Amino acid sequence: MSFAGHMAPRWKYSRWQPDTSVEIGCLQATAARSLVPHFHNEVQLVSVRRGWRRFSTPAEVFHVCEGVILMLPAGMPHASSASARSSVTNVYLPADHAAVCVRARPQLIRSPNARKPEDILDAIGSLKIRDTPNEHDETWMAMRDLVAGTDARIADLASQLEYSTDGFIRAFRSNVGITPAAYRLAHRLTVARKCLRSGEAPVDAAYDAAFADQSHLGRSFVRAYGTTPAAYRSAFL
């Protein structure tokens, strides 16, 4: 499958062998790399070993450089870009993992020596502060679930919630960080990602995640995760 005109795949993913519930993503880039808005159902920990990486979230923009870890809560939409010649390690933890504090918002953690996955986990394991979603957060979490859980037209959802279509799109983007359509696509990508990790062929993952076809999944997957569905799947076989 050709991805001409899109970013060449550079991210490599794998299971972390000491704890196979943990996923690792590594980037060794020789040119600036960007990923379109997406989210993960896992808590994401970002450690930069060389260069920098910038994350745009609904909360704010975070600039991650050497010696700093960014913790992104599960389900947090974000887009990212990186410097040329950057080296990055992402650790993805199940939301109920023992190392994870309950967090509703991103946080930067200073940890100069956290380069390996075990060091990153040690760094966040020392955190004592917890925060939980407030009523406003919970309202928009429910809105996200509503958008992701149905194929209904956005206009129909807006009407059901007593918004105009444009008003609902503006409110959703203001609170979630991306439009309802972009969130629905990101959700389908998380479904496909789970299918691929379980060994499904890309064509089957595309069907199960409600993509138009395998090519549609492939294009969207590369833009969001920096690798092809086939390459991602092969890392977990």
pLDDT at 6: 44
Of 12-26, 107-121, 166-180, the least confident: 107-121
pLDDT at 1: 36
pLDDT at 131: 61
CATH of segment(s) 11-125: 2.60.120.10
**Both tokens of residue 26?**
């590594």
What backbone torsions phi and psi does residue 4 show, to the nearest 5 degrees? -55, 135
pLDDT, tens only, 105-161: 888 988 888 888 998 988 887 655 556 667 777 888 888 999 998 889 999 999 999
- Decide: helix, strand or coil at residue 133: coil
What share of the chain has pLDDT > 90, as a percent?
63
pLDDT at 127: 59
Q: For residue 214, what pLDDT band results from cuts at 50, 70 and 90?
A: very high
pLDDT at 33: 77
pLDDT, tens only, 46-101: 999 999 999 999 889 999 999 999 999 999 999 999 888 889 999 999 988 877 76
Q: Where are the domains of the chain?
A: 11-125, 135-234
State the maximum Cα–Cα separation within the chain, in Å, rounded to a whole number: 51
Beta bridge partners of 80: 35, 55
CATH of segment(s) 135-234: 1.10.10.60
Average pLDDT over residues 5-9: 46
Average pLDDT, rounded, for the chain:
88
**Both tokens of residue 16?**
């972390």
Distance, CA of 70 to CA of 53 (rounded, Å): 10
